A = this chain, B = another copy of it.
Amino acid sequence: MKDKTFLMIPGPTPVPERVLLEIAKHPMGHRSGEFSKILESVYSDLKHIFQTSNDVLMYTASGTGAMDAAISNLVNPGDKVLSLVIGNFGQRWAKIAAAYGADVEVIEVEAGKAIAPQVLKDRLEKDTNKEIKIVTLTQNETSTGVTNDVKTLVSYIKEHGALSIVDGVTSIGAMECKMDEWGIDVLISGSQKGFMIPPGLSFLAASERAWAVHKECKRPDFYFNWSTNKKSVLENSTAFTPAVNLICGLKVALEMMKEEGLDNIIARHTKIAKALRKALKAINLQLFVEDEAIASTSITSVLPPEGVSVPDIRKVLKNDYDIVVANGQNKLKDKIFRMGTLGFVSERDAITAVGALEATLHKLGHKFELGKGVATLITELNK
């Protein structure tokens, strides 16, 4: 049905009406006192969501822009960077570091697995000359639906003395991520995920240690330069003309997040994702990430049942039920489909999704007890 599309992909995620209407207003002057007040409130709320006392820089760019900003403001050619790769977005850190002349070492695990903290610990202990300057990692790997134990991994990186750079794109505002308490040095995220607004803004916060390393960076990118951008944050301004309308929408979204409360938001994501996993199993679907301990609470990857193809599932879900789920990426294309329950997603949305998925699989001839998915979901949600 036209204009009925509901996104259940890892991003963009659904945007609240209140936010959309704010974005639809005529742009205001980005150098006006009125807009400066909006920035003041946004900058302050971002610190709360990032769980940090560090200033949060805001870029008019997608999440990859903030990833670029993280690397290009710290790395000098020849610097040793260790990239922990559990999927495509972990791989992106390695690509960016290499593009900026870093000597990149990769620790990679097969898709669907997380980094075993001990593996990192051993590698860092071997680095007695402290050659490793930076370790990049992903909290929630969007391409597989696996979550790393950032708290433990970062503690080992701190022990070693390297800087930790964490991709929080599909984790912040969905799962626990305590920048200061855990000692994360650089944390980035994007707007079209837990922040419930359309794509176009990304965020970066850096620790004092990271700022000190930045000062030694010979050639930071101009547009993404931390120092230029921070100066503007301190003035409740932006270095360059920002995406004014998206920022006005972000202000409203951040207010909604405060109203619900960060802990409640995280609890909601956890509850819905765990119930969804049980529901999917109840209709004889196999989960790509079986280990509950590392399964994402914002993205759930699912294997298609035997004899049913991922493209068919996605097509029927979209055409007959107006729900968009994501295909797998690269090697996982057509091997899995990914259901996002990230951001502005309610229990009702989960019921809708499981119901529509049951209808879809029923049409496609998959054998299961019709209704059992929804029944299981409702039971789990009300436990």
Report which A residues bind B (CB closer than 8 A). Answer: 5, 7, 9, 11-12, 14-15, 20-21, 23-32, 59-65, 67-68, 71-72, 95-96, 99-101, 190, 192, 198-200, 219-225, 239-246, 324, 326
Contacts and interface: CB of A to CB of B under 8 A. Distances in A.
6 contacts: A7-B27, A62-B242, A68-B222, A99-B219, A199-B241, A200-B244
Given A60-B62, A199-B242, 20 more contacts: A5-B26, A7-B28, A12-B28, A15-B26, A20-B26, A21-B24, A27-B198, A29-B324, A32-B324, A60-B200, A61-B65, A62-B242, A63-B240, A64-B222, A68-B223, A72-B221, A99-B225, A100-B222, A200-B200, A245-B246
A306 to B, nearest CB: 27
A78 B381 CA distance: 63
A50 B239 CA distance: 27
A62 B14 CA distance: 25
Contact of A64 (B64, B200, B240): B240
B30 A245 contact: no
Contacts of A95: 222
Nearest to A318: B32
A32 B118 CA distance: 40
A245 B245 CA distance: 10
A246 B244 contact: no
B24 A246 contact: no
Contact of A245 (B14, B200, B220): B200
Contacts of A15: 26-27
A199 B27 contact: yes
Given A72-B222, A95-B222, A101-B219, A27 B192 contact: yes
Contacts of A192: 27, 241, 244
